[in-house]
């Protein structure tokens, strides 16, 4: 993909789908997904699976290598601004530069005020174009609420909401679910108020929570 080409919402959505696979398994890190595109084709993809494991960007670079694909000059779509400081693993910005990726599009800036915007500066100094997709640089102006770029960016923000709340306030992200009857009762004699489908959705939410109580 040439540097002058616009961002495609389809690839942004694919990165979000990958990020969702890591939800609930990466703490204290956020779930992140990444897709590498070259010549209009996905050549590598990955997601952060667990804390201490490869970050999404590195996983995608390794996936491209396994496929025998070159990422030089390619575009990397990632749901969160890449990390620019080494921690449990090396800095993703270093891996991006070393791989020769030409452009990085991230859906959300790092909410941590210490790191926010730093990756863009590091990558720009290394000659890598770095941007957040917008209406102006999105393919064919696909900026609609039914599945375009705006929806992809919003989904990426929702995925990191617990992480963003913690790094900006030091407090947990709290979700309250109540199942009550009109007379104020919270359970029947059988011990449940929710139906089968609500309980299934609740178990799904439990998987993405740090802690819960009933």
DSSP symbol at 57? H
* 57 is known as an active-site residue: yes
Helix (H) or strand (E) holding 81: none
Beta bridge partners of 192: none
Whole-angstrom CA distances from 22 to 48, 167, 177, 187, 209 are 6, 19, 23, 33, 12
Buried b (16+ CB within 10 A) or exposed e, 2-24: eeeeebbbbbbbbbbbbbbebbb
The residue annotated as part of the active site, out of 23, 45, 57, 81, is: 57
Catalytic residues: 57
């Amino acid at each position: 993909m040439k540097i002058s080409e616009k961002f495609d919402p389809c690839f942004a959505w694919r990165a979000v789908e990958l990020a969702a696979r890591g939800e609930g398994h990466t703490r204290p890190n956020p779930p992140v997904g990444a897709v590498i595109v070259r010549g209009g084709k996905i050549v590598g993809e990955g997601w952060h699976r667990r804390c201490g494991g490869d970050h999404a960007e590195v996983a995608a670079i390794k996936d491209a290598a396994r496929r025998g694909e070159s990422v030089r000059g390619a575009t990397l779509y990632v749901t969160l601004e890449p990390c620019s400081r080494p921690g449990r693993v090396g800095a993703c910005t270093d891996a991006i530069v070393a791989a020769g990726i030409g452009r990085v599009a991230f859906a959300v800036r790092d909410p941590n005020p210490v790191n926010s915007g730093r990756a863009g500066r590091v990558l720009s100094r290394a000659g890598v174009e770095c941007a957040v997709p917008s209406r102006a640089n999105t393919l064919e102006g696909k900026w609609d609420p039914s599945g375009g770029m705006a929806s992809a960016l919003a989904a990426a923000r929702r995925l990191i909401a617990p992480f963003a709340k913690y790094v900006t306030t030091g407090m947990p992200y709290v979700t309250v679910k109540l199942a009550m009857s009109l007379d104020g009762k919270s359970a029947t004699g059988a011990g449940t108020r929710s139906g089968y489908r609500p309980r299934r959705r609740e178990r799904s939410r439990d998987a993405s929570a740090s802690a819960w109580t009933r």
